[in-house]
Structure formats: C-alpha cells, structure tokens
Structure 1
Amino acid sequence: MHFSFIEIVSAFMVLFAVIDIIGAIPILVDLKKKGGEIKALKASVVALVVLIGFTFLGEKLLGLFGVDISSFAIAGSFILFIMGVEMALGIEIIKYDGPSGVSIVPIAFPLVAGAGSFTSVVALRAEYALENIIAALVLNLFIVYLVLRSTSIVERFLGEGGIHILRKVFGIILLAISVKLFMTNVAVSIRTLIPMIKEVL
C-alpha cells in the first residue's frame, strides 16, 4: 500500500464537491419531516459500502446487466427530479414508510451514493491509487455522518419559515441539477449510439 497525503486530499475534495452534503441540508430537513427519523450511522455506512463496492466492481456490475454509467445516471436523474418536484410544489409522490424510512432511499442512494459520485470514483481510479480513494471516501462519509446527525440542530436554528423558504429554493435547484444530469448523459448516450447506427446503415 502506498498512501499519499496529496492524493487523499485531492480525491477528498473532488468527492466532497460531488456529494455536496452541506448543500443537501435543506433536502435532509424536508425528508426528516416527511419520513421520520434519519438514521445517520445506517445511511452513512450503507453509502460507504455501496461506493467502495462500486469503486471495485461498478463498471463490471453494470456491464452484467448491459447498463452503462450514462444510463445509470439518467435513471438517478429521474429520482432527483421527483424529489425536486416534491420540494418545489409541496406535494408528496414518493412514500417513505418502509422500515428504513428515508435513511437508505433517497439519502444513502441517490443523494450520497448517486450517479455523480459513482462516475467520480470510476474517474479517480484512473488517476489515484485505490487505497487513497478509499481513504478519501471514508473521510467524506464521516462528514456525511456528522451532517446527518446535525439535522435537528439545523431545523431548530432555521425555524418553520426558514425551512419553508429553503425547501422551495432548493427544490428548484434540485430540479435544475436533475435536468442537467439527464441532458448531459443523454448527450453521451447519443454520441455512443451514432457510430453504431452508422455501422448498421
């Protein structure tokens, strides 16, 4: 093993920006109100396991089902779009009444372990040593755990009015992110299909 402080910091910064758990705080507060208790440790551990698993097996696993990264990202964009609609319009589409509440879906996936973070770990593998990527993932998920544990404090600090405003604003932002994710990966899929169509013709 060859741990590199520079590589760990670099990979950490990339993943921190992609996961953006700080920016997701209004979403977490909204999910908590609709789905009950957020199990911070459970969500963080599940997301970490999924991301580490994807680091090792992601492309091969998706390949078994004939699914590429772009198609996976498009599917994730639909979930984010529905969440954005819920927040912006104040309606409920997804029911969070299972035994895991909101901890697994949508917090562990796709908010934390989502299309963006999946794509990032695959890209990072081409540049950094595997042990440094895993170390960066562990550090990021520790921060995710701390943020998830703090949602009640944030909720009390913002108050009902503050939460309502942030819910609408971040709902629109989430809609924009989901549309961008969809359009970017549809474009990638089309560019991949064009040579195949030309060969057939």
Structure 2
Amino acid sequence: MLLDLREIITVGMVLFAVIDIIGSIPIIIDLRSKFGHLESGKASITSGGIMIVFLFIGEEILKLIGIDVHSFAVAGSFVLFFLALEMILGIRIYKDEEASSASIVPLAFPLIAGAGTMTTLLSLKSQFETINIIIAIILNIIIVYIVLKSSAKIERMLGENGLGVIRKTFGVILLAIAVKLFAANVKGLFV
C-alpha cells in the first residue's frame, strides 16, 4: 500500500475531467427543473460505491470474458480521447437516452459514474496504486456532492462563458492523459 500525493492528485484530476461534474451543471439544472428536488447525498454515495466496486471487480469481469487489462486500457484511452474531443470542440459524439426521472439512475449512473468513468478506472488501475485511486474517488465524490448541492449558485457565479472555459481546459488535460495512457499500454498488446 503506497500512498502517493502526486498519484492522488493525478488520478483525482483525471476523474474530475471524466466525471465532468462542472460541465454537467446544465444537465443537473435541467433535471432539477423537470423533476424538482435532487437527492444530492444519495446520488453521490451511490456513484462513489459504483466506482469503488467496479475498481475491484471490473478486472475480474474482464478476465471472465477474456480481455486483458492492456487491451481495456487502450480501449479506455480511445473513450477518453473522444470524451476530450467532446469537451474541447463542444460537440456530442455520445448521447444518453432522455431520463424519465431524477432519481439515482440518471444522476449516479450514467451522469456521474458512467461508461467513461468505468473505463477510466480500469485504465488507471493499470498505472496507479489502488489506494490512491480510492482516495481520488472519495475526493471527487465530495466535489460532486458540493456541486450537486450548489449547482444553481455555481451556474450564476461562473456564467456560461466560465463553464465553457473550465470544460475546454479539462478537455485538453483529458486529451493529453488519453495519449499517455495509449502510449503506456499499446506495447503490452504485442508482448
């Protein structure tokens, strides 16, 4: 068990960019206006639980279906690459179905702990210590909770332009991480 502040910060930033809770504020506000009160605590705890459970059993699921971690990490780097392009270019490559209620399902999964987050977790597991990933998940869930609780205030404070700048900045960071993840794992495919 190797606690490493640098790893926690790196993993935390990757997860923050992938979860994109700041970029999701317009969706959260839309859900709130459609369905009323959002259960911020329940959604945060559920999404954190989903991420931690997947971190531990995700690799076993892969082994069960015959996929190695390097292959999954390379696939994950492509997912991160396209998520980053969405953030930077302001386009939508992947579209979720419309939510029918603002319960745990649209908030915790797939909005917070979606496919991109799951792919990222397994990709990160091939590069970083598990304890550092868990701490980064917990820190991100705290941020998610704060954002969910105060999304209307944040929207008023940052404005549309401020949200756009933050989204694009984290998109560029995510793009660089996707390239690094691809380069680190692509060699493992040919061994």
Which TM bucket (shorter chain)? 0.5 to 0.7
Counterparts of 1:87-98 in structure 2, within 5 Å, are 93-96=98-101
TM-score by length of 1: 0.61
Where does structure 1 lack aligned partners over 5 or more consecutive residues? 84-92, 164-168, 174-201
TM-superposed deviation, 1:13 = 1.0
One-letter identity of the residue aligned with 1:81: K
> Following the alignment from structure 2 to structure 1, what is the Cα–Cα distance between the partners of residues 16 and 154?
20
Counterparts of 1:77-116 in structure 2, within 5 Å, are 81-83=95-97, 93-96=98-101, 101-102=102-103, 104-116=104-116
SS in 2 for 1:81: coil
Task: Say whether residues 1:127 and 2:127 are aligned partners.
Answer: yes
Larger radius of gyration: 1
Where does structure 2 lack aligned partners over 5 or more consecutive residues? 84-93, 168-191
Any runs of at least 4 consecutive aligned residues in structure 1 with deviations exceeding 4 A, and if so which? Answer: 62-70
Q: Note if contact 2:15-2:137 (Cα within 8 Å) is conserved in structure 1.
A: yes
Q: Which residue of 2 aligns with 1:192?
A: none
> Following the alignment from structure 1 to structure 2, what is the Cα–Cα distance between the partners of residues 116 and 140?
15
SS in 2 for 1:21: coil
Q: RMSD value over aligned CA atoms?
A: 3.4
| Identity across matched positions, percent | 42
> Following the alignment from structure 1 to structure 2, what is the Cα–Cα distance between the partners of residues 119 and 94?
22
TM-superposed deviation, 1:142 = 0.5
> Following the alignment from structure 2 to structure 1, what is the Cα–Cα distance between the partners of residues 13 and 44?
18
Q: Which residue of 2 aligns with 1:180?
A: none
> Following the alignment from structure 1 to structure 2, what is the Cα–Cα distance between the partners of residues 14 and 51?
14
Q: Which residue of 1 aligns with 2:118?
A: 118
> Following the alignment from structure 1 to structure 2, what is the Cα–Cα distance between the partners of residues 150 and 38?
11
